Amino acid sequence: MTDETTAERAAPLPTIHLSEGHPMAGFIDEIQTPPALGDLVEGTIIAISRGRVYVDLPPFGTGLIYGREYLNAADVLRKANQGDTVSAKVIDPAGRDGYIELSLKEARQAAIWGEAEKAILSQTVYSLTVEEANKGGLILTWQGIAGFLPASQLSKEHYPRVPEGDKEKILGELNQLVGKPVSVRIITADAKEGKLIFSERTEGEVEEKASLIDKYHVGDVVTGEVTGVVDFGVFVKLEQGLEGLVHISELDWGLVEDPHALYAVGDQVQVKVIEIKDGKISLSIKVLRENPWHTAGERYKKDMEVPGVIIKYNKHGALASIEEGVAGLVHVSEFTSPAQLRETLELGKTYPFTIALFDPKEQRMTLTYQEKK
pLDDT reading at 80 higher than 90:
no
* pTM, entire model: 0.46
Residue-wise pLDDT for 109-157, tens only, equals: 777 888 888 888 888 889 999 999 988 889 999 988 899 998 878 887 7
Report the CATH superfamily, name and number, of domain 40-106.
Answer: Nucleic acid-binding proteins (2.40.50.140)
pLDDT reading at 73 higher than 70:
yes
Q: Output the CATH code of domain 293-369.
A: 2.40.50.140
The pLDDT of 103-110, averaged and rounded, is 74
pLDDT reading at 17 higher than 70:
no
Q: Confirm whether 40-106 and 215-288 share one CATH topology.
A: yes
pLDDT reading at 347 higher than 50:
yes
pLDDT reading at 10 higher than 50:
no
The mean-pLDDT minimum among 21-35, 39-53, 112-126, 203-217 falls in 21-35
Task: Please compute, for residue 363, the number of CA atoms within 13 A of its CA located in the half-sphere on the CB side.
Answer: 10
High-pLDDT (> 90) share of the chain, %: 20
pLDDT reading at 9 higher than 80:
no
Most confident among 22-31, 82-91, 154-163, 201-210 (mean pLDDT): 82-91
Every domain of the chain and the residues it spans? 40-106, 123-201, 215-288, 293-369
Pick the CATH number of 123-201 from 1.10.3720.10, 2.40.50.140, 3.40.50.980, 3.40.50.360: 2.40.50.140
High-pLDDT (> 70) share of the chain, %: 87
Residue-wise pLDDT for 247-277, tens only, equals: 988 998 887 878 888 898 889 999 999 998 8
Between 284 and 78, the more confident residue is 284
pLDDT at 250: 92
Mean pLDDT of the chain: 82
pLDDT reading at 305 higher than 70:
yes
Report the CATH superfamily, name and number, of domain 215-288.
Answer: Nucleic acid-binding proteins (2.40.50.140)
